[in-house]
Structure 1
Amino acid sequence: MTALRIAILTHSTNPRGGVAHCLALAEALCALGHEAVVHAPDPAGRGFFRNAACTTVSVAAEPVKGATVDLVRARINDYLRHFSTPAACDFDVFHAHDGIGGNALATLKRRRLIPGFVRTVHHVDSFSDPLLAEWQDRSIREATRLLCVSRTWADWIRDDLGAEADIVGNGVDLSVFRSEPTEADAAVRERWGLGQGPVILSVGGFEERKNALGIIEAIARLRARYSQAQLVVAGGVSLLDHATYRARCRSALAAAGLTVGRGAAVIETGPVPQAVLPALYRVADALAFPSWKEGFGLCVLEAMACGTPAIVSRRPPFTEYLAATDALFVDPADPDAIAAAMAEALATDTRARLRAAGQVRVVAHSWRACAERNLNTYAACARTRQEPMHA
Structure 2
Amino acid sequence: MKIAQITYSTKPRGGVVHTLALAEALAARGHDVEVWTLGRGDDTAFFRAVDPAVRVRVVPFEPREGEDVGDRIERSIAVMARSFSADADIVHAQDCISANAVEAAGAACVRTIHHLDAFTTPRLIECHELAIHRPVARICVSRAVAAEVATEYGYTPTVIPNGVDAERFEAAAGPAGDSERSRWRAELGDYVLALGGIEPRKGSIDLLEAFAMLRARRRELRLVFGGGETLFDYRSYREAFDRRAEQLGVVPTILGTLPDGDVPSLVAAARALAFVSTKEGFGLAAMEALAAGVPVVARDLPVVREVFGEAVTYATDARGIADALGRVIGDGVVDPIAGVRLARSYTWQMAARAHEDFYRALLGRGGERDAAVPLLDHR
TM-score category (smaller protein): over 0.9
- The separation in 2 between residues aligned to 1:80 and 1:371, in whole angstroms, is 26
3-state secondary structure, aligned to 1:124: coil
Q: For residues 134 and 341 of structure 2, what CA distance do their matches in structure 1 show? A: 39
Are the counterparts in 1 of residues 78 and 101 from structure 2 also a CA contact under 8 Å? yes
User: Which letter maps to 1:271?
Assistant: T
Q: 1:14 to 1:119 in 2, by over 3 A?
A: same
Q: Quote the Cα distance in structure 1 between the aligned partners of 2:117 and 2:163.
A: 23
SS in 2 for 1:357: helix
Q: Which residue of 2 aligns with 1:262?
A: none
Query: Are the counterparts in 1 of residues 95 and 112 from structure 2 also a CA contact under 8 Å?
Result: yes
Equivalent residue in structure 1 for 2:301, among 315, 322, 329: 315
Q: Distance in 2 between matches of 1:386 and 1:150?
A: 23
Query: Does structure 1 residue 228 correspond to structure 2 residue 213?
Result: no
3-state secondary structure, aligned to 1:51? coil
Higher helix share: 2
Per the alignment, in what secondary structure is the counterpart of residue 333 of structure 2? Answer: helix
Report the counterpart of residue 188 of structure 2 in structure 1.
194
Counterparts of 2:122 and 2:362 in 1: how far apart (Å)?
Answer: 30
After TM superposition, the score normalised by the length of structure 1 is 0.90
Q: CA offset at residue 277 of structure 1?
A: 0.6
**Structure 1 position 313, deviation (Å):** 1.4
- Aligned amino acid, residue 219 of structure 1: F
The yes-or-no answer on 1:359 pairing with 2:360 is no
1:79 aligns with 2:80: yes
In 1: Cα distance, 2:230 partner to 2:300 partner: 25
Runs of 5+ consecutive residues of structure 2 not aligned to the other structure: 373-379
Quote the residue 1:93 is aligned against: 90
CA distance in 2, matches of 1:279, 1:142: 41
Contact 1:12–1:19 (Cα < 8 Å) also in 2: yes
Find the aligned partners of 1:17 and 1:164 in 2 and give their Cα distance: 23
CA apart distance, 1:108:
2.5
2:322 alignment counterpart: 339
Do structure 1's residue 14 and structure 2's residue 11 form an aligned pair? yes
Cα displacement string for residues 303-346 of structure 1 (whole angstroms, at most 9, x for unaligned residues): 0111101111111210001122x111111xx2111011111111
Partner of 1:49: 47
Q: Distance in 1 between matches of 2:293 and 2:33?
A: 31
Tell me the equivalent position of 2:376: none
Contact 1:219 1:339 in 2 (8 A): yes
> Is 1:33 the equivalent of 2:34?
no
> Over the residues paired in the alignment, what is the CA RMSD in angstroms?
1.5
1:147 aligns with 2:139: yes
1:119-198 matches, within 5 Å, as: 119-178=111-170, 179-181=173-175, 182=177, 183-190=179-186, 193-195=187-189, 197=190
1:350 paired residue number: 333
Measured in 2, the distance between the counterparts of 1:373 and 1:175 equals: 21
Paired with 2:244 and 2:283, the residues of 1 have a C-alpha distance of 25
In 2, Cα distance between the equivalents of 1:369 and 1:301?
16
Letter in 2 for 1:231: L
TM-score, normalised on structure 2? Answer: 0.92
Q: For residue 390 of structure 1, report the CA deviation from its aligned partner.
A: 6.7
Which residue is 1:263 aligned to? none
Deviation at 1:97, TM superposition (A): 0.6
Q: Distance in 1 between matches of 2:292 and 2:343?
A: 10
CA distance in 2, matches of 1:37, 1:386: 20
Shift of 1:386: 4.6
CA distance in 1: counterparts of 2:369 and 2:193, whole angstroms:
43
Partner of 1:286: 272
Structure 2 counterpart SS, 1:345: helix
Q: Secondary structure at the match of 2:243?
A: helix
Matched residues, percent identical? 34
